[in-house]
């Protein structure tokens, strides 16, 4: 796949252009930046449209108007197309955000994300415990203790829509990237080696998580640390 094909696929389906496209993104910094900008624009559009409608608004409008039979029929003709378009848009946005993704696609996306943000691995932040508690709570996890020292924490866009948490664990053997992915459930765990990185995708509360490092031993140790430090709520069905 070349850059032009990738960008066509990304524009046609910004939320999930497919595993082949994600593999190209992992190897092409220019396309990775293009896709990140595109995803941020899509997320901003979704946030601007996701305006909650007050409960009972439709009933209040009907009670206030009380149209005559003729006016009512005319009103129905006018409003039905708009209502249908609104419902279609809402359904489309919901599907865009909640579409299931395979563990393989999530793993490839996690590796690509780590590759395009190398600065997070050399960051040395002082991350408050409250920030970690909030990050895990957003994925349905209760943080019982700090897994290991944390050197970076920030929000990141997720494949398929929405935002997750990008956290770097600082161990004595090296650094491990943890990506919390609420709303991205997986049925089973997956381990994968790709582009010089090991990744583990695991079910986690209201979604899943990915652990990425050069060493498989580091990834497995991080899995054990997370299991000891976090108590997960069951995903809602």
- Chain segment 66-75, per-residue pLDDT in tens: 555 445 555 5
In the chain, which residue ranges form alpha helices assigned H by DSSP? 3-12, 19-27, 29-49, 57-65, 69-98, 103-116, 119-122, 129-137, 216-229
Q: Is 133 exposed, middle or buried (0-12, 13-18, 19+ CB in 10 A)?
A: middle
Does pTM surpass 0.75?
no
Q: What is the pLDDT of residue 126?
A: 87
- Cβ atoms of 226 and 178 closer than 8 Å: yes
Q: How confident is the model at residue 120 (pLDDT cuts 50, 70, 90)?
A: very high
* The CATH number fitting domain 103-232, selected from 3.30.530, 3.40.50, 3.90.320, 3.40.1000: 3.40.1000
Q: How far is CA 191 from CA 98, 143, 178, 209, 233, in A?
A: 23, 24, 14, 12, 23
* In the chain, domain spans: 3-49, 57-98, 103-232
List 168's β-bridge partners, or say none: 152, 177
What's the pLDDT tens digit per position in 41-95? 766 665 555 555 566 666 666 566 555 544 555 554 544 555 555 544 444 544 4
List 142's β-bridge partners, or say none: 231
């Amino acid at each position: 796949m070349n850059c032009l094909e990738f960008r066509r696929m990304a524009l046609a389906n910004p939320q999930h252009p497919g595993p082949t496209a994600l593999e190209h993104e992992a190897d092409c910094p220019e396309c990775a930046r293009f896709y990140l900008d595109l995803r941020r624009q899509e997320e901003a559009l979704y946030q601007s449209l996701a305006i909650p409608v007050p409960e009972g608004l439709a009933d209040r409008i009907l009670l206030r108007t009380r149209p005559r039979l003729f006016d009512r029929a005319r009103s129905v003709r006018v409003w039905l197309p708009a209502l249908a378009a609104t419902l279609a848009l809402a359904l489309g946005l919901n599907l865009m955000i909640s579409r299931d993704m395979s563990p393989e696609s999530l793993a490839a996306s996690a590796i690509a994300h780590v590759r395009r943000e190398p600065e997070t691995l050399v960051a040395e932040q002082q991350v408050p415990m409250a920030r970690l508690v909030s990050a895990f709570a957003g994925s349905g996890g209760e943080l019982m203790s700090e897994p290991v020292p944390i050197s970076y924490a920030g929000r990141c866009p997720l494949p398929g829509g929405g935002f997750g948490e990008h956290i770097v664990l600082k161990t004595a053997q090296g650094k491990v990237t943890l990506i919390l992915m609420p709303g991205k459930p997986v049925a089973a765990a997956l381990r994968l080696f790709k582009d010089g990185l090991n990744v583990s995708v695991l079910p986690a509360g209201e979604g899943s998580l990915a652990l990425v490092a050069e060493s498989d031993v580091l990834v497995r140790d991080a899995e054990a640390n997370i299991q000891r430090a976090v108590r997960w709520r069951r995903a809602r069905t």
